[in-house]
């Protein structure tokens, strides 16, 4: 029996069948943890797809049981919010095996596809930047002043 495709491979295949140009952007890092780990692009992207209708799409793929966990991870990721502000699209694909025919025994893998949108983020105003360039500069200046002050006392 042939080895079954993993969730990323299933998602890649299905995206290509839908006419998207896509590629895997998650990488394997053997030096993370005791056994290595998969590292997603920007902490949330497994696949990038070019869709003629919706533009550039960041895709996260998982199994059925991982849908809510991955959704929570996406909504807590500042890079995901910035991706959406830059007019990108985010899709969460979770795979599950369902019966092909009611009452039958044959099962097939089907994706549940949920689009992640700006209004899903729990911030008061998700359309404003997390921090403006001016605020970033002010924080650097304040931090530098604190460090100078510490150096004088010690």
pLDDT digits (tens, 9 = 90+) for 107-141: 899 999 999 999 998 754 444 455 556 666 776 67
Round to whole Å and give the CA distance between 150 and 134: 24
Mean pLDDT of the chain: 85
Q: How confident is the model at residue 1 (pLDDT cuts 50, 70, 90)?
A: low
pLDDT value of residue 145: 61
Q: How far is CA 94 from CA 23, 26, 52, 67, 117, in A?
A: 18, 17, 23, 6, 17
Instruction: Write phi, then psi, for 142 (nearest 5 degrees).
Output: -60, -45
pLDDT digits (tens, 9 = 90+) for 93-105: 999 998 888 888 8
Q: Does the pLDDT at position 10 exceed 50?
A: yes
pTM above 0.85, yes or no: no
Interior angle at CA 94, CA 91 and CA 96, nearest 5: 150
pLDDT value of residue 101: 85
Higher-confidence position of 148 and 19: 19
Q: Does the pLDDT at position 15 exceed 60?
A: yes
pLDDT value of residue 125: 47
What is the token pair recorded at 73?
A: 């991870």
Contact between 65 and 45 (Cβ < 8 Å):
no
Q: Does the pLDDT at position 147 exceed 60?
A: no
Dihedral sign for Cα atoms in the order 92, 11, 43, 134: negative
pLDDT value of residue 86: 94
Round to whole Å and give the CA distance between 101 and 99: 5
Q: Does the pLDDT at position 12 exceed 80?
A: yes
Spatial neighbors of 72 by CB under 8 A, at least 6 apart, are none
pLDDT digits (tens, 9 = 90+) for 41-61: 999 999 999 999 999 999 999
């Amino acid at each position: 029996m042939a080895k079954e495709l993993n969730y990323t491979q299933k998602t890649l295949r299905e995206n290509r069948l839908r006419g998207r140009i896509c590629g895997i952007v998650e990488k394997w890092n053997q030096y993370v943890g005791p056994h290595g780990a998969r590292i997603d692009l920007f902490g949330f992207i497994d696949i990038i797809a070019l869709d003629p209708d919706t533009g550039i799409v960041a895709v996260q793929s998982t199994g059925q049981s991982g849908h809510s966990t991955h959704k929570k991870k996406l909504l807590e990721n500042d890079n995901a919010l910035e991706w959406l502000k830059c007019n990108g699209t985010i899709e969460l694909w979770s795979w599950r095996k369902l019966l092909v025919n009611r009452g039958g025994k044959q099962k097939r893998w089907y994706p549940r596809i949920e689009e992640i949108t700006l209004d899903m983020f729990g911030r008061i105003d998700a359309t404003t930047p997390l921090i403006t360039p001016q605020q970033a500069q002010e924080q650097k200046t304040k931090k530098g002043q604190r460090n100078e002050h510490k150096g004088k006392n010690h």
